[in-house]
Amino acid sequence: MSRAPLLEVRGVSKRFPGVLALDRVSLSLGHGEILAVIGENGAGKSTLMKVLAGVQHQDKGDVLVDGEPAAIDSVNAAYDRGIVLIHQELNLCGNLDVASNVYLGREPRRHGLIDHKTMRTQAQACIAKVGLDVKVSTLVERLPIGRQQLVEIAKALSVDARVLIMDEPTSSLSTRETETLFAVIEDLCASGVSIVYISHRLAEVKRLAHRVVVLRDGHNAGELARDEIEHDAMVRLMVGRDVSQFYARKPHEPGAVALEAEDIVVPGGAPEPISLRVHAREIVGIAGLVGAGRSELIETLFGVTPAVRGHLRVGGTDVRISSPKDAIAAGLALVPEDRKQSGLVLEMAVRENVSLPSLEREARRAFIDKRAEREVAGRMIADLGIKTRDDRQVVKDLSGGNQQKVVLAKWLALAPRVLLLDEPTRGIDIGAKHEIYALMERLAADGVAVLFISSEMEEILGISDRVLVMHEGRIAGELGRGELDEEAVMQLATGGQPART
């Protein structure tokens, strides 16, 4: 085929003050191709995508569209060439309806006023292309996140996108929503649209990508053709060394019951009561689809949304938990799902974040014990290997993995009996993930009861001693170490019966 590639990047470099974010990176994208770009956090993926989408401009190198050099110096210039970036965090106005979102900033007009009729008809056609079957007059905030994602894609298609760049599109989707998205992506490819797909989820990459480009420290680390795409090969290129297949865990002998919930009813959840037990030295995973009520359950245990009914026992004693304060007093700790929203005060220093829950305990008559604060922060930074300039660095400036470690450090300073974690490794790179697993493991070995939610099957299967699977607000079943496999978990998560043998 003599046709020039749709998009070609040749030796693009981008220097930020003092750091070379992109170092002569090259790649090409064919018509109707799905190209996955992977790499650890900080490898330069985002910068490259921003250059392509006109958000930033490269210092050196060329971007070619249809074989012609193209100066993409603004988002609109990228649009004109059919290149659209869909950000990880969706850029939609929840208070507007689907049609208005699809045509935001490009509303069809008549006599200077918005022509709602035309807009709705055209928007309906657009969303039909991505298999979205809702009314275009629906408010976006009423749609589940997976469908919002489709609205974003429809928006991109409405500007005649030829290249769709998707940054971690599945990070907040359920398995079913992910499947729908994949079907849409494959349809788009068949119709000639090319996709640049960025993901941390290697299983998805393997499933979807025609070709993989791996970036490491700002330069090309390698490329894998369709039949070479394997988990290990990708990891090897990403980290530049061999990593063991997955986390190698040692099973522990569970101790006494540390946390016991008896017939608790989650507010706004299923009417049936939930009971569960977690033992000391045990890691229990909660699997299930997004929306199965896992986060709600854990937030109820932690007192964020106190239980309507039921009893909680920690270490055998009855406790009444109606606020996080009560939960912490009882020996519980929660690493929440959204660390930026609920886990950290981003503009505060590492030290101040680490000390926040333990400040009162360390204080002398309401006066902050600054020496103890510094000491605890220093210990935690060393202990958890938090990469930070010093303990006064603002948490916002840390990488995702290090931010998550700060959240953990907050709680470890309190030595909790029960550690609750909600998607503890979301959006962090492989290296940091493994450190978090090792930490969970170490805590369990030290006698802490660990209860964690995860949407990543590898994680659920890899580190749990026991798995609870939730479906529509109920615990649909429990799987011991011996009965754990992907199929059994999915059966329960989707409402089926476990195939017992």
* Residues 221, 238 contacting (CB under 8 angstroms): yes
* Residues 288, 294 contacting (CB under 8 angstroms): yes
Site string for other proteins, 191-210 (x = CB under 8 A): --------------------
Distance in Å, CB of 487 to other proteins, minimum: 36
* Residues 86, 153 contacting (CB under 8 angstroms): yes
3-class secondary structure, 434: helix
Q: What does the block give as tokens for 384?
A: 């958890």
Q: Residue 405: which of 204, 229, 393, 417 has the closest Cα? A: 393
Interaction residues for other proteins, span 81-110 (CB under 8 A): none
Q: Phi and psi dihedrals of 100, rounded to 5?
A: -65, -35
Name the DSSP letter for residue 308: S
Considering the complex, state which of residue 248 and residue 366 has its C-beta at the smaller distance from other proteins: 366
Please compute, for residue 357, the number of CA atoms within 13 A of its CA located in the half-sphere on the CB side: 25
Distance in Å, CB of 298 to other proteins, minimum: 12
Q: Residue 198: which of 236, 163, 168, 177 has the closest Cα? A: 168
Instruction: Give the Cα separation of 207 and 203 in Å (integer).
Output: 6
Dmax over CA atoms of the chain, in Å, equals 78
Distance in Å, CB of 433 to other proteins, minimum: 20
Distance in Å, CB of 299 to other proteins, minimum: 9
**Residue 366 in contact with other proteins, rule: CB under 8 A:** yes
Instruction: Give the Cα separation of 68 and 4 in Å (integer).
Output: 9
Considering the complex, state which of residue 348 and residue 490 has its C-beta at the smaller distance from other proteins: 348
Residue the block writes with tokens 């249809």? 66
**Residue 190 in contact with other proteins, rule: CB under 8 A:** no
Instruction: Give the Cα separation of 307 and 270 in Å (integer).
Output: 12
Using only C-alpha atoms, what is the Rg of the chain?
24
**Residue 432 in contact with other proteins, rule: CB under 8 A:** no
Distance in Å, CB of 159 to other proteins, minimum: 32
Q: In this chain, which of 257, 348, 457, 490 binds other proteins, going by CB under 8 A?
A: 348
Interaction residues for other proteins, span 297-336 (CB under 8 A): 302, 304, 306, 322-325, 327-329, 334, 336
Instruction: Give the Cα separation of 23 and 34 in Å (integer).
Output: 23
**Residue 392 in contact with other proteins, rule: CB under 8 A:** no
Q: How many residues bind other proteins (CB under 8 A)?
A: 40
Q: In this chain, which of 90, 114, 368, 457 binds other proteins, going by CB under 8 A?
A: 368
Q: In this chain, which of 410, 426, 466, 474 binds other proteins, going by CB under 8 A?
A: 410
Considering the complex, state which of residue 82 and residue 416 has its C-beta at the smaller distance from other proteins: 416
Considering the complex, state which of residue 197 and residue 452 has its C-beta at the smaller distance from other proteins: 452
The 3-class secondary structure across 23-56, one letter per residue, is EEEEEEECCCCEEEEECCCCCCHHHHHHHHCCCC
Q: In this chain, which of 389, 392, 442, 481 binds other proteins, going by CB under 8 A?
A: 389
**Residue 343 in contact with other proteins, rule: CB under 8 A:** yes
CA distances from 77 to 9, 38, 101, 390 (A): 16, 26, 21, 41
Distance in Å, CB of 445 to other proteins, minimum: 25
Considering the complex, state which of residue 183 and residue 345 has its C-beta at the smaller distance from other proteins: 345
Instruction: Give the Cα separation of 444 and 475 in Å (integer).
Output: 23
**Residue 406 in contact with other proteins, rule: CB under 8 A:** no
Q: In this chain, which of 75, 359, 438, 490 binds other proteins, going by CB under 8 A?
A: 359
Considering the complex, state which of residue 373 and residue 465 has its C-beta at the smaller distance from other proteins: 373
Distance in Å, CB of 17 to other proteins, minimum: 3
Please report, as ranges, the residues that interact with other proteins according to CB under 8 A: 16-19, 302, 304, 306, 322-325, 327-329, 334, 336, 341-348, 352, 356-357, 359-360, 363, 366-368, 387-389, 393, 397-398, 410
